Structure 1
Amino acid sequence: MLDQLRRCLKHRHCSLATVSLCVLTRWYIRFHLLRHPADMGAPEIHAFLSYLSNERGIFLSTHHQALCALLFLYKQGLQMSCPGSTSSVHGSKAGTAADCSIATGD
């Protein structure tokens, strides 16, 4: 599944830094004990983002990158709408799904 996501990112001519966001997706899958993302929903996304913020102490920008990576995973990698309401997984400063864009390389 992660290979499929990498191919999707490379097909869109994304930069190597963007392709490295697959690490966040891998963390998400491992955090939920190797469950497939198609079987998970908004509560799992919220739990993962809460873990990153509370346990790992990540910065808001990294939190936003993780959210964008997960939205990209669902919308582009799995070609399905993001499970549940994405407003339930956003922090008050995290922005909206429209703010999440994957940068393309030169």
Structure 2
Amino acid sequence: MADDLDLVFKALADPGRRLLLDRLHAESGQTLGQLCALMEMTRQAVTKHLKLLEEANLVAVVWKGREKLHYLNPVPIHEIAERWIGKFEKGRLEALAELKRKLEEKADG
């Protein structure tokens, strides 16, 4: 379990990989070509990032004919949230986040 979490934290540590996860969250089931079109990095770099995300079980792959489709797997992120965020009274954190949001809205509007 610790090794699995280490892989997840390592994968999440890179902003490029987080952006890939954001792209897959917005539209899951994308090919490498589709993901490369959205990223400002080479095809090789995207491939390397996807490989690390797959190893961390954050991305699942499904072959559809000759196409390799990439899907977001949110389970490892949920496990981190349950283990680490759950320790800190989630209700209070949500109340503080809501207060912050309202104050920022008031300041902007």
TM-score calculated relative to the size of structure 1: 0.38
User: Which one has the bigger strand percentage?
Assistant: 2
* Rg larger in structure: 2
The structure in which a higher percent of residues are helix is 2
Where relative contact order (Cα < 8 A, 6+ residues apart) is larger, the structure is 1
TM-score (norm 2): 0.38
